[in-house]
Amino acid sequence: MKINPKHERRCVYCGCTDSKACVGGCSWVQIHEHTHTGVCSQCIPRLVTTLMDLTKRLHTPLHELIQDNAYRN
């Protein structure tokens, strides 16, 4: 399947794309429909670590940040 480079999805953490996946393979977990950026399955642990670190710095429980963000989307 040929992918239009203009619409190729890209991971915001590692930069993998539809045509160049992570070593060992990956899949899309979350993709923004308009920007074609998202997070691949290999980067989910990094995302969780980042979120946990952020919640420690903000002194806000992770579930509260997720819940607040859900209402904005």
Distance of CA 39 to the CA centre of its chain: 2
The whole-number pLDDT of residue 11 equals 94
The whole-number pLDDT of residue 16 equals 96
Number of domains composing the chain: 1
The whole-number pLDDT of residue 73 equals 47
| Mean pLDDT of successive 10-residue stretches along the chain, which has 73 residues | 69 94 93 88 90 79 68 51
User: Of the candidates 49, 50, 43, which has an alpha carbon nearest to the alpha carbon of residue 24?
Assistant: 43
Assigned domain for 1 exists? no
Assigned domain for 2 exists? no
Assigned domain for 37 exists? yes
Its pTM stands at: 0.62
Assigned domain for 16 exists? yes
Token duo for residue 14: 């590692």
Residue 22 near residue 16, CB atoms below 8 Å: yes
Assigned domain for 4 exists? no
Q: Which residues pair with 37 in a beta bridge?
A: 10
Token duo for residue 8: 């190729």
